[in-house]
Amino acid sequence: MAKKGILVLMMLALVMLVGCEEGNPRFNEVIDQDWVQDGSRWEADDGNSFAYVYDESEDNYWIDIHYMDGVNDYPCYIDEFNYENGQVVGTYTYHDPVDGENTLRGPFSVTITFSYASETLTVNYSGPGTLHDVLDGVTMNLQLPSSPER
């Protein structure tokens, strides 16, 4: 009887291990909004932008943000995030143009909230507010880029 019990436990453990690999991904969930979809890019005249992209070769989603602070362009990348309750929660990194060395900064925690009205996507960023956390408190009002057909 003990041998059967051990065999059942071993099979149960094997089933659990196989099931874990097929579970929901921890990161890179789909942003579920009509106005933020795979491949969408939103821009502003001041150089700020937000893009949500699916990378087929890596089989994951990522977010590309350009934040302009005066003349400095901070290209921020989010490759690990969750989308829940209308918010993106994740971490971002960026190359700092200010120090002249293009130092990689991060990762920094960030929460992103969205709203949409009158063809304008408003993106609000909040983070830990540390010295090099460039997105904390930033709000971007963005539009879809104009196309020749419009």
Domain assignments of the chain as residue spans, ordered by start: 40-142
Distances (CA, A) of 60 to 54, 84, 95, 109: 6, 17, 22, 19
CA atoms within 13 A on the CB side of 13: 6
DSSP characters for 18-40?
HHHHTS--SS-PPP--SSS-TTE
Segments in the chain forming alpha helices (H): 2-21
What is the pLDDT, as a whole number, of residue 66?
A: 96
Look at residue 18 and tell me whether its pLDDT is greater than 70: no
What is the tens place of the pLDDT at every residue in 85-98? Answer: 889 999 999 999 98
Average pLDDT of the chain? 80
Q: For the segment 69-87, what is each residue's pLDDT rounded down to a tens digit?
A: 988 999 999 988 888 888 9
CA gap 53, 63 in Å, rounded: 6
Whether the predicted pLDDT of 23 surpasses 70: no
| pLDDT of 112 over the 80 cut | yes
Average pLDDT over residues 121-139: 95
Strand positions, DSSP E, the chain: 40-43, 49-55, 60-69, 72-84, 87-96, 103-117, 120-126, 139-142
Task: Sort strands 49-55 and 40-43 into parallel, antiparallel or unpaired.
Answer: antiparallel
Q: What is the pLDDT of residue 29?
A: 62
Name the residue with higher pLDDT: 77 or 60.
77
Give the residue from 111, 89, 146, 116 showing the smallest Cα distance to 35.
116
In the beta sheet, which residues pair with residue 129? Answer: none
- Structural tokens at position 115: 């709203």
Q: What pairing do the DSSP bridges indicate for beta strands 139-142 and 120-126? A: antiparallel
